[in-house]
Amino acid sequence: MEYLTLNTGAKMPQEGFGVFQIPDQKQCEQVVYDAIKTGYRLIDTARAYYNEEAVGKAVARAIADGLTTREDLFITTKVWVSDMGSEEKAYEAVKASLARLNMEYADLILLHQPMNDYFAAYRGITKAYKEGLSKAIGVANFYPAILANLCEAAEVIPAVNQVELHPFFVQSNALEMKAYGVVPQAWGPLAEGNHGIFTDPELVAIGEKYGKTAAQVVLRWNVQRNVSIIPKSVHVERMEQNIDIWDFELTEEEMGQISAKDLGHSGIVDHSDPAFVKFIWQYHAE
């Protein structure tokens, strides 16, 4: 596993494991335990995923079984839009997430969406960071101009921006935010299975050259762009495949061939659509 150094000095595994859309508590606990056993050390959850408790139980179980230590793990969670209305609400949301995780600190706290009063909310997670409740703070789904505006105003520059990054939505301009010291992290690095990504003839052909699958090629492509990735699977075999990407390197020509698949827009969400924004505001708005 390779590690990326965040602007706080913290070391973050370049590849981690995401638990989006695993709301069943027992399943999520087992899946996270399996992921840790497989070798993943970065676990990414969120308030809006409704599985922080399960992640916490899996981590406690893995530590008790001697698979890892808390210090060797990197745990990320996120503050949801409904808790981003003020500095105090965001700060309290961090403490509530830690209670659900049953942890004294997180390694990374993100604002989940660039919505509500995200400036106030960012001050809230900054307060949590200063108090040692998180080793680093950052944002998710902040497009470049919005992120630059936040960076110019923030007391503490975000360590990470988690955005949609895969061959069909390359977002090269999102990578430019590294100029601020912000590490790009890819959610949906496998495009959530869209665009025939697992059977794409070009990706399959590149994979055959290295004895890898199309999925492994896609993950390696992002890694070579210095992007952190958090693929998700509930199947141990896929977990093992997804983490087995550190023994080959794509050529510059292959990197360009993969990047050329860019559609220039997301096929999953559209943050510029007012209907999507309204949906986000109504989701978990309690």
Positions annotated as catalytic residues are 49
Question: Torsion angle of alpha carbons 96, 134, 107, 187, nearest 10°?
Answer: 70
Tokens of 4: 């990326």
Q: What is the DSSP-derived secondary structure letter of residue 102?
A: T
Strands (E), 117-251: 137-140, 160-164, 183-187, 228-229
The residue whose two tokens read 């998710």 is: 140
The residue whose two tokens read 């495009």 is: 191
Rounded Cα distance between 51 and 54, Å, is 5
Which residues face 111 on adjacent strands? 79, 139
